[in-house]
Amino acid sequence: MTEISNPVGVGVWGLGRHACRKILPALAMCPNTTLLGVTTRDDQVALREAERYHCRYWATPQDMFGEEDVDVVYVATPTGLHYAHGMEVLKAGKHLWSEKALTDSLSQAKELVRESYERDLGLCEGLMYLYHPQFSFIVDTVTQPSFGRILSINCQFGLPPLGEPGFRFDRELGGGALLDVAPYPVSAAHRLLGTDLELVDSVLFEPSGCDVDTHGFALLSREDGACAFLEWGYNRAYKNEISVWGENGSLYSDFIFSKSPDHQSRVSVRDQRGQVRYEDIDPANSFCRMFCAFSKTLSDKKGRDHLREEAELQAEYLERLRRGR
């Protein structure tokens, strides 16, 4: 990770379990960021975390916006609030880093991207696994001439029943597996196969009596015949893996999208005759690496433009999956 001379001052808006367990520790340990403070509706949680990280507690987001040393706001509120909160962040003149999904609709995502362009502010969507050495190794391997053309990708990400599902089953707050789980395999598909993918079919399942979609699958294809089969959902045995099949080789790895910082990843790579070799990947904190990458874009216009484009493209694919064929 490349360090920058002046760490970026970050405020965090929203303190659910994910933010407390993953986001705050990563911001605190990242050499390119300074966790300046937190704000959330639950005062007790905010005060607890502010004390834990020796940072500020802001009673309202407006108090946070008024702090000159806050360069960036990380929005970790429910997905259904991302658009309104993200727009407030940008209009306050702060860079926007957001939990995935960026918003719950393509039109809202486009508005945030447009606002960030007009104000020359960064907009980054938090898909942390893209910054882990495991995914970097996979990208490097499948783009080698020796691997040959990619023929297909298969990604599965499923979660067992959660004891504290939070907003995941609340439609008004942007719940549902499409916005919560699908962003991971969808982003992997267009990172590996390129941006010119056509939707062959997609199906979202919303069980009777449930307010949101709980699982789904999609088939995407490229003009040359390469395809990606993606599957995601709640209430199933945990699965978190990727396989890539090429003309001259194949690879497989699990714990691709989510993993603990001390997890040692392994990628199995096979040649054209099926002979296998294993590559062990050193543990890494993917959130910390993501924040280091995000921070460098504050002084890099090309980098800011790229991450805006990626966020809008991701929203376009999710919208296609929602609509189906």
CATH classification at residue 66: 3.40.50.720
> Using one digit for the tens of pLDDT, what is the confidence trace for 109-165?
999 999 999 999 999 999 999 999 999 999 999 999 999 999 999 999 999 998 888
Residue (of 215, 243, 54) closest to 138 by Cα position: 243
Looking at this protein, which amino acid is placed at residue 15?
L
Cβ atoms within 10 Å of 98's Cβ, excluding its own: 26
Is 99 in the same domain as 150? no
Query: Rounded distance, CA 254 to CA 267, Å?
Result: 8
- How does pLDDT run along the chain (325 residues), one tens digit per residue? 555 678 999 999 999 999 999 999 999 999 999 999 999 999 999 999 999 999 999 999 999 999 999 999 999 999 999 999 999 999 999 999 999 999 999 999 999 999 999 999 999 999 999 999 999 999 999 999 999 999 999 999 999 998 888 889 999 999 999 999 999 999 999 999 998 999 999 999 999 889 999 999 999 999 999 999 999 999 999 999 999 999 999 999 999 999 999 999 999 999 999 999 999 999 999 999 999 999 999 999 999 999 999 999 999 999 999 998 6
What is the Cα 262 distance to its own chain's centre? 19
Whether the model clears a pTM of 0.85, i.e. scores above it, the answer is yes
Whether the CB-CB separation of 24 and 37 falls below 8 Å is answered with no
Local structure of 25: helix, strand or coil? helix
Is 36 in the same domain as 160? no
Query: Rounded distance, CA 196 to CA 219, Å?
Result: 14
Whether the CB-CB separation of 267 and 278 falls below 8 Å is answered with yes
Q: State the residue range of the domain holding 50.
A: 8-127
Q: Edge-to-edge strands of the sheet including 227-233?
A: 198-205, 215-221, 227-233, 150-158, 239-246, 249-254, 265-271, 276-281
Is 139 in the same domain as 244? yes
Query: Rounded distance, CA 252 to CA 191, Å?
Result: 16
Domain count for the chain, please give it: 2
Query: β-strand 56-57 against 33-39: which pairing, if any?
Result: parallel
Which among 98, 127, 156 is the end of a domain? 127
Query: Rounded distance, CA 83 to CA 64, Å?
Result: 18
DSSP state of 20: I
Looking at this protein, which amino acid is placed at residue 12?
V
Enumerate residues 6+ apart whose C-beta is below 8 A from 323: none
Enumerate residues 6+ apart whose C-beta is below 8 A from 78: 14, 16, 166, 167, 170, 173, 174, 175
Is 97 in the same domain as 180? no
Is 120 in the same domain as 173? no
Enumerate residues 6+ apart whose C-beta is below 8 A from 198: 220, 221, 222, 223
Is 154 in the same domain as 278? yes
Is 191 in the same domain as 272? yes
Instruction: Record the tokens describing residue 231, joined without a space.
Output: 């599957």
Is 251 in the same domain as 112? no
Residue 142 lies in a domain: yes
Is 142 in the same domain as 14? no
Is 78 in the same domain as 137? no
